[in-house]
Structure formats: C-alpha cells, structure tokens
Chains A and B, each alone.
Chain A
Amino acid sequence: MNSTLLEVSGLSVSFDGFRAINNLSVQFPETGMRAIIGPNGAGKTTFMDIVTGKTRPDEGHVIWGERSISLLGMSESEIAMQGIGRKFQKPTVFETQTVRQNLAMALKNPRSPFAVLMHRRTAANGTRIDKIAGEIGLSDSLMRVAGELSHGQKQWLEIGMLLAQDPRLLLVDEPAAGMTVEEREKTTDILREAAKTCAVVVVEHDMEFVRRLDCRVTVLHEGSVLAEGSLDHVTADQAVIDVYLGRSNA
C-alpha cells in the first residue's frame, strides 16, 4: 500500500494582500512521480517555499511521514534532514568546488559543525558518490570544477546532490528549462528512476516535458487545486482549458 507521505491541507498565505496560496489541499504518496503545472503566479514556487520551510503560511497544515509530524515551525535545515530535497529553478551547485566535493557535501552524514570538522573520507561514502555520479552521468567528471559543467550537467549534478541526501521527497522546480532535447530525455530518465524509491514532485511549465514524465498531474490556479488526474484528463477539463491552456494557446 502506497500510503501518504506529505499531506497539505487548508494552506493559505498572502503577501501584501495578494493571496499566493488559497486554501490549498494536496497529498503525495510515498513513491511515484507527480507533476504540478499552472500559469505564472499560480503559487507553485510558494508551495515549495512553504513545504521546505522558507515561507511560513498564514494558516493550514503540512503533515509529514507515517508519524504525521508537522513541518511548520521547523527550520529549512531540519526539514531537509527529514528527507525533503529541493532543486531550484536555476541550477545551484557550488561552482568553485569539484563535482565530487559537491556530492560529498550532500551525502547523508551527520551535519553538525563538529562532525563535519572531524569528517574522514570513507570507502562507503566513496562508493555512494560513484554510484550517484553514474546515475546522473557524471562519472568521468568527478574531479572537474562544477563551474565548468554545461547547463544540463549542472542540473543533473544538483539532482544528484538531492539523491545523495537519501531523500524521501524530491521537489524539483522546472528541471527542463534551457535543456536540449537529449538532455531532457536524460533528465526524465533520472527522475523516473528516482521516483521508484521516493516521491518526486516536478513543477513544470513545459507541457511536452510533463507529457514525457507520464504521471499524475495537479493543476494549480490562483493558489488552489483546479484539477487533478492524468495529463489527458486534466487537459480535457473545461476549467483548465479556460484558465491555462486557453490562455497559453491564445
């Protein structure tokens, strides 16, 4: 049974009177892929900000895991340690450091300053880094400085850093932006593979990419869920056509 990993209910948040999230309720199971689509200003990024602890909501609940703990009130780092990894829209890797250092920093290990100061490289960590580098196609680039990587490779490295955290939920913001067709295919493969063991939530504009992901889709509009189901189901929905597809086709 694929039970609920993250449950968001009755979530609302306003910025200077603008309701970015309006009574949003949505659930994500423990494994599998989910795409969140919606026009600009639908609240996609704000939703991620709330789940990862960057923004505090005005009301609502964010319930996590089988022990049903609330993520509200936790700091960003505490939430990350719960197993929530977040990929930013712009690739954010540590450009002055090597791919290996980037991945080593993300590996699931004690995170206190003292533990990090006394940290020693171990064979187990090395194996883990090699495995992840293989998954993201950067095995040959481990000693390269991340700043030298191509745009697509940086995106994969960042996804690799999320995987290194042993996450239970991956929040991925527009992974395909600025990628070539081949790069997109590879990104899709990496995310699909990840979705076998954890929950992957992809926020995306690009309908072609969402179609390729071939997963359940949640449509956001003005801060709440407009429709949910397969891509064919939601694109056939009259309300969705009106607010989103209708507008973008115009």
Chain B
Amino acid sequence: MRRSFIAQNPSVLWFLAALGLFTLVITVLSEFTGAGVIPTSFVKTLGKTLCLCLIAIAMDVVWGYCGILSLGHFAFFGIGGYAVGMWLMYARTETIVLESLSTQVIPPTPQEISDAIGNQIFGVVGSSEFPLIWAFADSLLLQLLMVVLVPGLLALVFGWLAFRSRVTGVYLSILTQAMTLALSLYLFQNDSGLRGNNGLSGLQNIPGFETTPQSAVSIVFFWASAAALAAGYVFFAWVVSGKMGSVVQGIRDNEARVRFLGYHVESYKLFIFTVTAIVSGIAGALYYPQAGIINPGEIAPIASIYLAVWVAIGGRGRLYGAVIGAAFVSLLSSWFTGGGAPPINLGFYTVQWTDWWLVLLGLSFVAVTLFFPRGIGGLFDYLVKKP
C-alpha cells in the first residue's frame, strides 16, 4: 500500500502547475512575443528571482529540514556564477580579438591571440597572463562541469572538516560566514585571477548569439531558470520525503537519538550540505548571465544572511515557503531599493525607502521569528484542513 510520490507530496503538483502558468503568462506578455507588456529588464529580474528561489529551497533543505544554519551558501552560488562567467567572458573576448586581428596581413599566431585575449580580460588588473584557474575557460562543457564540481568539492571538504569535529549550532554558522567572507576577500584581490573587485562583466552577451536580441536571450534564460527551479523542487521534495526525510528531520530535532539508532549523522549532514551546495552553484550559474556582472561583493557574508531571512520569512521546513519568501522579499527589496516605493513625507522627516528598507526588513524578520515562526508559508496550513 505504498502511495505514489505525488500523492504523498501534493504541494509538488500545485507548485509545478503554478510555476508553469507563471512562465506561460510572462512569456506571452514579454517583448519576445511582441506583446511587450513586460519589459525585457523585468523578465531578467523575474528570471533572476527564480534562481534566488532555487537557492532558497536549497537553504531550506539544509536549514529548515536538516537544522544546519549555513550562512555561507551564497559562496557556492557565487562560485557557480564565476565558473560560467569565465567561459562567457573568455569566449566573447576571443570573438572580439579574432575579429580585430583578422585585418592584419600576417595571420596571428595562437600565442598572439592568447596574449591579446589575456590583455583584454586582465588589463584592468594590470596583467595579461592567464592564471591557472582559467585553464578550461575556453570550453563551455568543462566550465559547466566546474559549476557543479567546485561548489561540491568545497562543500565536501569544508563539511567533512566541520561535521567530523561535531561543530554544530551557532559555531557552524560562524564558520560558514567565515568561509564566504574569506572567499569574498580573496576574490577582491587583483591577483586572485578573477579580476579583483571588477569581477566578470558583459555576461549577458552570449557568445554565438551576438545577433539575437536580448528579449529572446532573456526569455530563454527565464525558461531555463524556471526549469531548473522545477527540477530542483521535485528533486528536493523527493529527498526530504520518505525515509531520507525522516532521518534528516530527526537529525534536526534530536541528533543524539539518530546517532544511537545507528545512523552516521555526519555522513547525512555532509550529503545534505554538499547536494545543496551543488544546487546553489547551478542557481548561480543561471543567475549571473541574467545579471550581466558578478563581483566579489555578491558573496559578501550579508548575502547569505539575506538568504536565511528569506527562508525564515517564507516559512522554514516547507519547500514552497522558501520559494515564497525568496520571491516576495527579493522583489520587494528591489522595489524599495530601486526607488519604486514613494518616499513618505512625515513633515519633519521624509522616509527614503532606500535607507529605511533594511530597517523594515529587519523588523519583519524579528516579527516573523517571534510571532509567526511558520512564516508566510504557514498561512497555507489554515487553507488546507488536515484529514
């Protein structure tokens, strides 16, 4: 009398239907179809938001389900973005360089081409040498492999060291903050090999599709982001349902009990930490071509803290809660900080939302934690009556 996966997780079907409908509506209204109700820049914003939803469900699995408050998952997101950004930047620069050198009478040697590309990319940091980490930058396939491998390996090594020493709770959170801070500080250096604080730019130009309008490029990335979110949702719903979900939530609620039942708790934490890191990397790889630019500021510790805030506001321990939280808060955030919200004139003082948005966000975070621990997603509990 085993019930099917969908029967056990009705939210999956609802979520996929809602996401599909959303994707369809946005596509129809976009400039891509000619309707043009939604500008391309907003399609990009929505596509980016879907990527943020994807990392949010990863965060929900590691924190809401497994109880590991990681404040470093944006590091993996950033690594994914850098990995794909390296190929985008290399391939596009190569095209430009080849074009400009083609007018020369004597055909350029491979070394000359390589030097010219290096000069173009690293000129801003006073260098023209390709660092070792760019060894595979000319291959899309290898760089896509890096999107998965580098976050996965980093999470594996970091998690192995942290979990086997039984570092838990706030100490682990601090360690993850330190990890993302260290990575960010390292990348800020000019000799890090990733252009220091300039980061990688021009990522919205997809090599080979120079003549394709951005309205088409943006809609394709929007679809890809929606597909990735759908796949991630189904994958994590599968992971956290069934016996794996039991064990993982058991670890959250009482680690010692799980251990005395014979489960090797550290392996499970490592598994969850690594898998969520990989998904975060994939989310980042889809996000930054839509953002167009990535720099070390993106993986500053505060980014990962926002991630935890989204998940808390959306509702921990339920995947759709994380999606709601990430979409709602990040869109609201860009509305407030982008000058969309009208300033409030109190007579003696004018509330400028660009300054006060963070205060509002902080207050809502405190309010949700204190009064609505189940978050926005918890509202669904009132709609759906338990049998």
Contact = CB atoms under 8 A, between A and B. Distances in A.
A joins B in a complex: yes
B261 A165 contact: yes
Contact of A86 (B246, B253, B260): B260
B156 to A, nearest CB: 13
A113 interface: yes
Interface string A97-125: 10001001110000111001101110000
Contacts of B385: none
B242 interface: yes
Interface stretch (B213-221, B226-234, B264-272, B285-293): B264-272
Contacts of A3: none
Given A105-B246, A119-B242, A120-B2, A113 B271 contact: yes
B236 to A, nearest CB: 12
Given A96-B249, A113-B244, A121-B2, A105 B267 contact: no
B188 to A, nearest CB: 36
Contact of A80 (B239, B243, B250, B262): B262
Given A77-B262, A85-B260, A96-B249, A104 B254 contact: no
Contact of A104 (B243, B257, B259, B265): B243
B263 interface: yes
Interface in A11-58: 52, 54
B247 interface: yes
A132 to B, nearest CB: 14
28 contacts: A54-B256, A76-B260, A77-B265, A80-B259, A80-B261, A80-B262, A81-B262, A85-B260, A88-B256, A88-B257, A94-B246, A94-B249, A94-B250, A94-B257, A95-B253, A101-B246, A105-B246, A105-B247, A106-B261, A111-B262, A112-B267, A113-B244, A113-B271, A116-B243, A116-B244, A119-B243, A120-B2, A121-B2
Given A94-B257, A161-B261, 13 more contacts: A76-B260, A77-B259, A77-B264, A77-B265, A80-B262, A94-B246, A94-B254, A96-B249, A97-B249, A105-B243, A111-B262, A117-B239, A126-B1
Interface of A: 52, 54, 75-77, 80-81, 85-86, 88, 92-97, 101, 104-106, 111-113, 116-117, 119-121, 126, 161, 165
